[in-house]
Structure 1
Amino acid sequence: MSNRNTQENKQAARERIRAERDKEKKKERLRRQLVVAASVVGVLVVAGGIGFAVLKANEPTGWEAAKEAELVTPAHTQGKNGTEILIGDKSAKDTLEVFEDVRCPACAAFEQSTGEELAKDIQDGRFKVRFTMYAFIDDMQGGEGSKNALSALGAALNVSPEAFLKYKAALYSTKFHPDEREDLYAKDAELLKVAADVPGLKGNTAFEKQVKDGTYDRWAMEMSALFGRKGVRGTPTFMHGDKKLTIPEIPQQQMTQEQYDALARANFRKMIDKEFGPAKGGDAGKGDGKGGEGIAKGEKDPTKGN
C-alpha cells in the first residue's frame, strides 16, 4: 500500500471520529436542554399548584362566603336589601319597632310570657310592627345559630307573615329554645324540627329546601348588619319612632311562673297603653285607610338613617 493511500485512510478515519464526537456532543446538548426545560415546567407546575392552593385557602367560606352570595330577599319584605320586616294592618297609623336576636334568652322570656299580647295588638290593627333581627350573640358567645335561625325565618316569611310570627314564637318557646351558650340552631335539622310544629311549615318542601340550601343566608347577613341601628345594641328593645319604650321592671321576689307571666303581660300592657293610648277594640289604631307603604304620614321612616 502506498504512503498516499495510507494518509488518505488515516484522514478519513479522523473525519469519521470527529463527526461521531460532534454528533454525541449535539445529543448531549439536546439532552441537557430537555432536562432543563422539564425542570422549569415542573417548577411552574408546582408554583401554579401552590398558587392555586393559596388562592383556594384565601377564598371565603361559610358565613363569610354568604356575604358575597347572590342576595335573595323573602316575600313580604321591603326597604333596602329587603331588611324591613313590617307586619300588620297597612292602614294602622303607628309603627312599633321590635329588636330581637333568636338566641337571646330575654327575647325568649318575653315571647313566652307576652308574645301573644303583641300578636293580638298586630291582629287588632292597633299598630304595625317592624322587626329588626340581630345576630350579635353569635359574636359574643361564638357560633352561628342566630344567623342560621334568621335565614330560616326568612324562609318562613317567604311563606307568609303569619308563618314568620308563629315560627319565631316556636323558636323562642320553652319546648325548643336552647340556652344561649348552646349553639343548637346552627343545625338545620334542629330548625326543621321546630318548623314541624308550625302550621304552614310542617311538610312544606319548598321551605325545607330553602333552609337546607341557605337561600336566605345573604339576606340574614344583611339583616344582622343592621346591628346598632337607632343606637340599639341590646335585645329585646321596643321603639316608637326615635323614642325607646321601657317595660316596667318586675320586682325581684319569689313567685310562680304563672305569676311572673301575668305580671310581665300587665307591664307590657302598661307600656303600650302609655305610648299608644288604651286599646279601643279591633279598630283601635287604624288610620284613614290611605296607608299601605308601611310608614304613616309624619312618622320617621325607619329604613332611612340609623
Structure 2
Amino acid sequence: MSNRNSQAGKAAARERIRAERERQKKKERLRRQLTAVGVVVGVLAVAGGVGYAVLKANEPTGWEAAKEAKLVTPAHTQGKNGTEILIGDKNAKQTLEIFEDVRCPACAAFEQSSGKALIKDIEDGRFRARYTMYTFIDDAQGGGQGSKNALSALGAALNVSPEAFLKYKSALYSVKYHPDEREDVYAKDSELLKVAADVPELRHNKAFETAVTKGTYDRWAMEMTALFGRKGVKGTPTFMHGDKKLVMDQIPQRQMTQAQYNQLAQANFNKMIDREFGPAKGTAGGGAGKGGSTGEGGAKGIREGEKDPTGGR
C-alpha cells in the first residue's frame, strides 16, 4: 500500500470518529434537554396538584358552603330572600311578631303551654303572625347544627303549607320530641323526619323528605339566621307589636304540677295579648275577623299604613 493511500485512510477514519463523537454529543444534549423539560413539567404538575388541593381545602363546607348555595325560598314567604313568614288572615289589621329558636327550651315551654292559644288568635283574625326564626343556640352550644337544620326542615314544611309549618313547629317543640338544648339531636335529618311523621301533611310526603335530606332550604335558613339581632332582639321567645316589646307576667315561684304551670303560662299569655290588642271580641266565639285561614297569608306583606315590623330589613 502506498504511503498516500495510508494517509488518506487514516484521515477518513479520523473524520468518522469525529462525526460519531459529534453525533453522540448532540444526542447527549437532546437527552439533557428532554430530562430538564420533564423535571419542569413534573414540578408544575406537582405544584398544580398542591395548588388544587389547597384550593379544595380552603373551600367552605357544611353550613358555610350553604351561604353560597343557590337560594331556594319556600312557598308562602315574602320579603327580601323570602325571610318574611307571615301567617294569618290577610284582612287582619295588626301583626304580632314572634322570635324563636327551635332548640330554645323557653320556646318549647311556651309552645307546650300557649301555642294553641296563639294559633287560635291567628285563626280568629285577631292578628297575623310574623315568625322570625333564629339559630343562635347552635353557636352558644359550641358549634351545633340542630337549629339551622331544623329551620331548613321548617322551610320544607312551609313550602307544603302554612298549616304544615305551624304543626311541624309545634311537634318539634313538643314534650315528645324536643331535646335538651345541650343535645344537638336535630342536627340529624333522620330525627327531623321522625318528628314529621306526626304531621299529617308531611307524613309520607316524598317532596318534603327530599327537601330535608338534600338541604334544599339550607341557604334560606342561613338568610334567616342572618336576621339575628333584628329590631334588637337577641333572646327567644320574644313578642313584638311594631317596635314595642310585649312582656308577660312572671309565673310565681312555687311548687306546682306541669299542668298548673301550663295553665298559668297560658293565662299570662292571654293577658299580655289582651293588654296589647284589647279583649277578644265575643270570647264565647266570633273574634274580630274570624274565619281567616292561617293559610291565606298576606299577598302584600305588611299592611299599608302599619308600623313596619321588619325593622328596616
| SS of the residue 2:307 aligns to | coil
Output aligned runs, 1:63-74, within 5 Å: 63-74=63-74
| SS of the residue 1:60 aligns to | coil
Partner of 1:131: 131
Where do 4+ consecutive residues of structure 1 move more than 4 Å? none
Partner of 1:275: 276
Q: Distance in 2 between matches of 1:26 and 1:208?
A: 71
Q: Distance in 2 between matches of 1:303 and 1:116?
A: 25
**Residue 293 to residue 285, structure 1, CA distance change in 2 (3 Å):** farther
**Conserved in 2, the CA contact under 8 Å of 1:157 and 1:163?**
yes
Partner of 1:184: 185
Q: Cα RMSD (Å) of the superposition?
A: 1.4
Partner of 2:32: 32
Amino acid at match of 2:184: D
Output aligned runs, 1:39-58, within 5 Å: 39-58=39-58
Partner of 2:91: 91
Q: Distance in 1 between matches of 2:93 and 2:172?
A: 30
Deviation string for 1:80-124 (max 9, x for gaps)?
100000000010111000000000000000001110110110111
Partner of 1:263: 264
Amino acid at match of 2:84: E
Q: Distance in 2 between matches of 1:128 and 1:58?
A: 44
Amino acid at match of 2:235: G
Deviation at residue 251 of structure 1 after TM alignment:
1.0
Please, which runs of 5 or more residues in structure 2 have no aligned partner? 293-297
Q: Distance in 1 between matches of 2:112 and 2:136?
A: 21
How much identity, in percent, do the aligned residues show?
78
**Conserved in 1, the CA contact under 8 Å of 2:112 and 2:174?**
yes
Q: Distance in 2 between matches of 1:220 and 1:285?
A: 34
Q: Distance in 2 between matches of 1:134 and 1:299?
A: 24
Partner of 2:287: 284
TM-score, length basis structure 2: 0.94
**Conserved in 2, the CA contact under 8 Å of 1:127 and 1:285?**
no
**Residue 93 to residue 284, structure 1, CA distance change in 2 (3 Å):** farther
Q: Distance in 2 between matches of 1:18 and 1:283?
A: 116
Give the length in aligned residue pairs.
304
Partner of 1:171: 172
Q: Distance in 2 between matches of 1:2 and 1:99?
A: 118
Q: Distance in 1 between matches of 2:304 and 2:252?
A: 39
Deviation string for 1:60-99 (max 9, x for gaps)?
1111111111111001000110000000001011100000
Partner of 1:5: 5
Deviation at residue 51 of structure 1 after TM alignment:
0.5
Partner of 1:196: 197
Partner of 2:101: 101
